[in-house]
Amino acid sequence: MSALRRLVLDLLKPNEVETVQFARRLADIEGVDGANVSLLESDKDVQNLKITIEGESIDDEAVATEVEALGGTIHSVDEVVCGDRLVEESPTHQD
């Protein structure tokens, strides 16, 4: 099975869980080389984040478990890149 190399997630997390902690914990997962956490929206109780994770072999279940342990909930999986190299999204006429 080909390795998962990039995962882009849209998720909600409680405000009380710090974004830095969220990023650190995701980056610490085995097989993950780095994580980028961007704030999309924030209100009184929760924050909407876009999370980009890259690595040699990302364990998507471990990522989902860590997100849940931190009190987050995944809205959607927005991008998945698998294989020996990172393939970027190709522009189409519709874009």
Partner 1 sequence: MTSRLAFLRELLRDEEVRSISRRYFISNGFDGTLTSIGIIVGSFLGGNQTGMEIIRVVAGGTVGLAASGVWSVWEIERAEKLAELQRVEDRLLIGLEGTELHERKSDARKVNAVMSGLGPTLGMLLPIVPYFFVGAVLSLLWATVLGVLIGVGLLFVFGAYMGNISDQNWVIAGLRTGLVGLVVGGINIVLPG
* Residues binding partner 1 (CB under 8 A): 12-17, 43, 45-46, 68-73
Contact 53, 32 (CB under 8 A): yes
Closer to partner 1 by Cβ: residue 6 or 50: 50
Q: How near is the Cβ of 62 to partner 1 at its closest, in Å? A: 16
**In 3-state terms, the chain is what percent helix, strand and coil (to 5)?**
20, 40, 40
Q: How near is the Cβ of 71 to partner 1 at its closest, in Å? A: 4
E-strand ranges in 1-95 read 4-14, 34-42, 46-54, 73-82
Q: How near is the Cβ of 15 to partner 1 at its closest, in Å? A: 8
What is the Cα 70 distance to its own chain's centre?
Answer: 13
Closer to partner 1 by Cβ: residue 45 or 88: 45
Closer to partner 1 by Cβ: residue 38 or 73: 73
